[in-house]
Amino acid sequence: MAILVTGGAGYIGSHTCVELLNNDYDIVVLDKLSNSKIDSVNRVKEITGKDFIFEQVDLLEKKKLEKIFTEQKIDAVVHFAGLKAVGESVEKPLVYYRNNVIGAIVLCEVMKNFGVKKLVASSSATVYGTAEQMPISEDTPLGVTNPYGRTKLMVEEILRDLYVSDNAWSIALLRYFNPAGAHESGLIGEDPNGIPTNLIPYITQVAIGKLKEVSIFGNDYPTKDGTGIRDYIHITDLAKGHLKALDKVIGSSGIEAYNLGTGKGYSVQEVIAAFEKASGKKIPYKMVNRRPGDIAVSYADPAKAKRELGWEAEKDFDEMCRDAWKWQRNKMNGFY
Ligand code: NAD
Ligand code: UFG
């Protein structure tokens, strides 16, 4: 039984591959390496001591995808491949719709033709848009504010229609909150191109001396210290959520969305303080205006995932900061 992992060379995909291999799944990894390097695939092999097939293929190349399904016995798919930068999606909406929406359609067409109807797909807490009621449960009304978010919501809706058309499908839509940290080995982690837009990779690059200071986007939010609050989830916990979702889709049919978050929120200032503790470095910062489109607070109600998948986050926030720091130091030391 083999699991096809699309986008498996990327940040969340590579950590999920480690967990899949450690749990004796056979995997086939597909990635076009547009936002990742072959090194992460090799590191996954190193961490697990296991080998697997890697195909450098674009999801949109249907013939190549069909070839993979012809040559390998694929039983289920974990689908990560996608573009994920909110700002870039505003500048290049067509690129995002083509890659994320058509990519998912091509994947499902091929799965359907080969009779493979078990799918775990990456969604995002971004589908909740500007939700004000906290914590955010799966019943919170959806609404999106940018093209990236719309691609995620569209794919969710396409998959729901697919299930309505054929109840044999079994699909889990995983709505991630804020993934952060790295594998405890320090061998794989997040490797953003250029200057990071997300808070934690930005902080790690300040700590290592690559960037001068953190700009805190707004200190006038209605929160305890005025800075934005988010639900940061350790990447290994997030990866494990995919295995639980896979168990569920393999053993049943239906379509369900699940929040993958911790249920706890940390402010930007708390994140900086925790990271200073983890790294032993002073993190300089300055207050600047709010970033357009940001909301004050976002954290999950993760009860449904616990109830129906038997999953909950286990690692704490300090461990996440320590692992993010270990990965950043390794990278800086010419590791990559
Ligand atoms: P990532 O960029 O590290 O990984 C995505 C991988 O997909 C990359 O390796 C990229 O090369 C590959 N890819 C993109 N388009 C492809 C295509 N058409 N064909 C083949 N490969 C393709 O991103 P990530 O953080 O690991 O995110 C994985 C998924 O999770 C994405 O769908 C993303 O939207 C979603 N997500 C991420 C976050 C986050 O904060 N990291 C939050 C919510 C949801
Ligand atoms: N922040 C700063 N300075 C920075 C970067 C971020 O103060 O340099 C603040 C933000 O204002 C926010 C918090 O840190 O309050 C977290 O910001 P991130 O950019 O790390 O994460 P977001 O919650 O804004 O976005 C993430 C993903 C999106 C996804 C969204 C909702 O990056 O793709 O969660 O799921 F859409």
Q: What is the DSSP string of 145-194?
A: -SHHHHHHHHHHHHHHHHHHH-TT-EEEEEEE-EEE---TTSSS----SS
Using CA atoms, how far apart are residues 159 and 171, in angstroms rounded to an integer? 8
Region 55-71: what's the mean pLDDT? 98
Using CA atoms, how far apart are residues 235 and 11, in angstroms rounded to an integer? 8
Task: Look up residue 283 and give its two tokens.
Answer: 């993190």
Characterize 229-255 residue by residue with b for buried, 16 or more Cβ atoms within 10 angstroms of its Cβ, and e for exposed: bbbbbbbbbbbbbbbbbbbbbeeeeeb
Q: Is the pLDDT score of 192 beyond 90?
A: no
Q: Is the pLDDT score of 334 beyond 60?
A: no
DSSP 8-state assignment for residue 223: S
Q: Is the pLDDT score of 73 beyond 60?
A: yes
Taking the centre of ligand 2 as the mean of its atom positions, its distance from the CA of residue 257, in whole angstroms, is 22
Q: Is 232 a catalytic residue?
A: no
What is this structure's pTM? 0.98
Q: Is the pLDDT score of 333 beyond 80?
A: no
Using CA atoms, how far apart are residues 16 and 9, in angstroms rounded to an integer? 10
Using CA atoms, how far apart are residues 96 and 90, in angstroms rounded to an integer? 9
Q: Is the pLDDT score of 336 beyond 70?
A: no
Q: Is the pLDDT score of 106 beyond 60?
A: yes
Using CA atoms, how far apart are residues 94 and 2, in angstroms rounded to an integer? 33
Task: Look up residue 14 and give its two tokens.
Answer: 């590579």
Q: Tell me whether residue 160 is exposed, middle or buried, using C-beta atoms within 10 angstroms of its C-beta: 0 to 12, 13 to 18, 19 or more.
A: middle
Q: Read off the pLDDT of residues 144-179 as tens digits, 9 standing for 90 and up.
A: 999 999 999 999 999 999 999 999 999 999 999 999
Percent above pLDDT 90 for the chain = 94
Question: Which residues fall within 8 angstroms of residue 266, CB to CB, at 6 or more apart?
Answer: 229, 230, 231, 232, 274, 317
Task: Answer whether 215 contacts ligand 2 (Cβ < 6 A).
Answer: yes
Region 103-126: what's the mean pLDDT? 98
Q: What is the pLDDT of residue 191?
A: 86
Domain positions in the chain: 2-181+232-263+301-314
Q: How confident is the model at residue 231 (pLDDT cuts 50, 70, 90)?
A: very high
Sheet containing strand 297-298, edge to edge, reads 266-267, 229-230, 297-298
Taking the centre of ligand 2 as the mean of its atom positions, its distance from the CA of residue 139, in whole angstroms, is 23
Region 78-85: what's the mean pLDDT? 97
Taking the centre of ligand 2 as the mean of its atom positions, its distance from the CA of residue 21, in whole angstroms, is 31
Closest CA to ligand 1's atom 28: 80
Which ligand has an atom closest to residue 174 CA? 1
Region 117-139: what's the mean pLDDT? 96
Taking the centre of ligand 2 as the mean of its atom positions, its distance from the CA of residue 198, in whole angstroms, is 5
CATH level 2 (architecture), domain 2-181+232-263+301-314: 3-Layer(aba) Sandwich (3.40)
Using CA atoms, how far apart are residues 312 and 24, in angstroms rounded to an integer? 21
Mutation choice for ligand 1 from 6, 19, 34, 320, CB with most ligand atoms inside 8 A: 34
Question: Which residues fall within 8 angstroms of residue 276, CB to CB, at 6 or more apart?
Answer: 282, 283
Q: Is the pLDDT score of 335 beyond 70?
A: no
Q: What is the pLDDT of residue 332?
A: 72
Q: What is the pLDDT of residue 193?
A: 81
Using DSSP, how many helices (H) and how many strands (E) does the chain show?
Answer: 12, 14
Q: How confident is the model at residue 132 (pLDDT cuts 50, 70, 90)?
A: confident
Q: Pick the closest to residue 268 from 251, 252, 288 (CA basis).
A: 288
Using CA atoms, how far apart are residues 317 and 178, in angstroms rounded to an integer? 12
Region 103-132: what's the mean pLDDT? 97
Q: Which of 148, 176, 202, 258 is catalytic?
A: 148
Average pLDDT across the chain, whole number: 96
Q: Read off the pLDDT of residues 289-330 as tens digits, 9 standing for 90 and up.
A: 999 889 999 999 999 999 999 999 999 999 999 999 999 999
Which ligand has an atom closest to residue 121 CA? 1
Indicate which atom in ligand 1 lies nearest the CA of residue 14.
26
Q: What is the pLDDT of residue 221?
A: 97
Region 270-299: what's the mean pLDDT? 96
Closest CA to ligand 2's atom 32: 198
Q: How confident is the model at residue 43 (pLDDT cuts 50, 70, 90)?
A: very high
